[in-house]
């Protein structure tokens, strides 16, 4: 899919300013930038949740799924995990259980968790459930907005590995948003950098990390701890 000249205004304020960005089929595009740079607003425009000007080609907004930072707010506390994952499935009742089990397995969760409630799961497990739920409708594009930011560092890596394996296994196209360049670098084929509503730079991950052409990208790289730079 391609986003062309996308602009989102809130009154006189321009939150996303003339952004053009391609998300190739089956690729993970990482979107990085400081707080307030317009990342989530861009995501909401692609999902059809805020009005915009410009063109979004090659994806039906009804086939875009978003996963957010805090899965506790997106999972109904009164519903079992199985019921939550089954909710969006357009399948006859009899086929649902098998599909729930397939989805839980896809995100490396034991199928027995289907009987449990969100409060009984760890943050990392809840985030896997949110991803399973989003995958249930077979999205053309998955948008992950700061999905590891609320997690312990110890489980962040496991969720990032899950994202990578989903790209390998099901060829998922994804817009992966984070303010953390080390995290974005780890999962993304392409990195796009936003600054004050504008896309300042985009390119294949390793090229961009090795030779950033934009001063703002260089400042983000300098802020990444040594370990993350590998």
Ligand X SMILES: Nc1ncnc2c1ncn2[C@@H]1O[C@H](COP(=O)(O)OP(=O)(O)OP(=O)(O)O)[C@@H](O)[C@H]1O
Q: Given the rule CB under 6 A, which residues bind ligand X?
A: 10, 15, 33, 35-41, 179
| Least separation in angstroms between CB 73 and ligand X | 14
Alpha-carbon distance of 128 to 136, in angstroms, equals 12
Is 135 in contact with 167 (CB distance < 8 Å)? no
Q: What angle do CA 40, 44, 48 make, to 5 degrees?
A: 170
Mark the segment that binds Mg ion (CB under 5 A) among 37-45, 129-137, 152-160, 222-230. Answer: 37-45
Q: Is 180 in the site for Mg ion (CB under 5 A)?
A: no
| Least separation in angstroms between CB 179 and ligand X | 5
Tokens of 81: 């995990």
Closer residue to ligand X (CB): 68 or 186: 68
Is 226 in contact with 181 (CB distance < 8 Å)? no
Mark the segment that binds Mg ion (CB under 5 A) among 36-44, 50-58, 95-103, 125-133. Answer: 36-44
Give the CA diameter of the chain.
56
| Least separation in angstroms between CB 144 and Mg ion | 11
Count of CB atoms situated within 10 Å of the CB of 119? 9
| Least separation in angstroms between CB 83 and Mg ion | 29
């Amino acid at each position: 899919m391609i986003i062309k000249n996308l602009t989102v205004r809130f009154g006189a304020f321009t939150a996303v300013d003339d952004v053009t960005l391609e998300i190739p089929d089956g690729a993970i595009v990482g979107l990085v930038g400081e707080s307030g740079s317009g990342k989530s607003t861009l995501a909401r425009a692609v999902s059809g949740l805020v009005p915009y000007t410009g063109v979004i080609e090659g994806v039906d907004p009804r086939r875009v799924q978003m996963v957010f930072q805090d899965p506790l707010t997106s999972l109904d506390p009164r519903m079992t995990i199985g019921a939550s994952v089954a909710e969006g499935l357009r399948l006859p009742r009899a086929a649902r259980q098998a599909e729930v089990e397939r989805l839980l397995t896809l995100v490396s969760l034991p199928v027995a968790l289907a009987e449990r409630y969100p409060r009984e799961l760890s943050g990392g497990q809840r985030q896997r459930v949110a991803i399973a739920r989003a995958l249930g409708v077979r999205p053309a594009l998955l948008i992950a907005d700061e999905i590891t930011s609320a997690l312990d560092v110890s489980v962040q890596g496991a969720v990032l590995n899950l994202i990578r394996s989903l790209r390998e296994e099901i060829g998922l196209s994804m817009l992966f948003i984070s303010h953390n360049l080390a995290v974005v670098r780890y999962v993304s084929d392409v990195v796009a950098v936003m600054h004050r509503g504008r896309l300042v730079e985009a390119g294949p991950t390793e090229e961009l990390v090795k030779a950033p052409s934009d001063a703002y990208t260089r400042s983000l790289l300098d802020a990444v701890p040594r370990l993350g730079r590998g």
